[in-house]
Amino acid sequence: MRGGTDAGAEETQMNEFDLVLPSSVDVREVGMRDGLQLEAPVPLEGKLAMLEALVATGVRRIEATSFVSPRAVPALADADQLAAKLQRWPGVHWSALVANPRGAVRAVDCGIAELEYVVSASDGHSRANAGRSTAEAVAAVGEIAGLAHGAGGSLEVIIATAWDCPFDGRTPVARTVDVARAAVTAGADQLCLGDTIGTTTPLRVVTLVDAVRRACPGVAVGVHFHDTRGTGQANALAAVQAGVTQLDASVGGLGGCPFAPGASGNIATEELVYMLEESGVRTGLDLDALLAAARVTEQAVGHELPSSLYRAGGRSVPRSADAR
């Protein structure tokens, strides 16, 4: 029986399990769009209070709203009015989601030229979400890219149901790759892979990210995870380990898709920041300010937020002995 530990062997064993992580990542806050689209309409002043609190976190990219049919998504019917207020915060990179060229024209006319256009990899979700097939949705990429580029902006194509569809089941990797390749060929500047109903897992994340990168070399690929089945943060960590540095998250874990049955909230921004910063990955976001923004958001939507970290109160703070 050995009476001690071989320090060299122990160090080697620890090094074998080191996480390979980037030094920093870029987090996009999507609570103002994805987070609110399933909520009862929040008054404009409530949204501006949320924005004020979010900007105070240090976040550099915010998805401000969506220029879609007010009948389809009444919670975002004030997109034009909200866009008119964004000049209050000149240091933020604002973007907006559009569903078709008409929405792109509205966004550009309102001064937002950084556009996101959703293309569902599955026909079932595409028809439910946009009233057209995947091929028809892809066919509009070129026109929307032209509108964004003509206004001095860029186009990011978000591929919804990149892993699974609530209507068609599992999305073949090849199908998502084909959509990604076609979008880039038509003029998309970057891509984002969306786990719309929160079903994917880390190995599937890495597999698809790698396949899309191989098909679209040199194009930035971000990720957008929902935490419906509790795997959102694990998926985010897997993506970051695979070299992804652009991630979407929503304050308080709000979110969901009105046209995807069973879809629930996004990964919570404060939980993502906590996990990454505690792992040595810089996000540029202040955790305490994020928790403050979550409180403002909770007041705005009028119900408890799903974020576990928010409910826990943030980082663990040791209690003094006399307080036990």
Instruction: Map tokens 């975002």 to a residue.
Output: 76
The first and second tokens of residue 47, run together, are 């949204």
> In this structure, how many other beta carbons lie within 10 angstroms of the beta carbon of residue 23?
8
Please state whether 314 falls in left (phi above 0), alpha (psi between -120 and 50) or beta: left
Residue type, 160: A
Kindly report, residue by residue over 188-242, the tens digit of the pLDDT: 999 999 999 999 999 999 999 999 999 999 999 999 999 999 999 999 999 999 9
φ and ψ at 60, to 5 degrees? -100, -20
Quote the pLDDT of residue 317: 83
Residues serving a catalytic function are 257
Quote the pLDDT of residue 16: 54
Q: Using an 8 Å Cβ cutoff, are 213 and 182 in contact?
A: no
Which residues on adjacent β-strands are paired with residue 116? Answer: 97, 156
| Nearest CA-CA partner of 232 in 248, 245, 243, 246 | 248
The pLDDT confidence band at residue 2, using thresholds 50, 70 and 90, is very low
State how far the alpha carbon of 233 is from the alpha carbons of 106, 217, 269, in Å: 34, 26, 10
Distance CA 176, CA 133 (A): 14
Pairing of strands 164-165, 154-160: unpaired
Q: Using an 8 Å Cβ cutoff, are 142 and 187 in contact?
A: yes
| Nearest CA-CA partner of 309 in 281, 277, 269, 282 | 269
State how far the alpha carbon of 323 is from the alpha carbons of 61, 206, 265, 318, in Å: 41, 46, 36, 10
| Nearest CA-CA partner of 140 in 129, 132, 128, 150 | 132
Kindly report, residue by residue over 143-158, the tens digit of the pLDDT: 999 999 999 999 999 9
> Does pTM top 0.85 for this prediction?
yes
Quote the pLDDT of residue 9: 40
Distance CA 15, CA 293 (A): 38
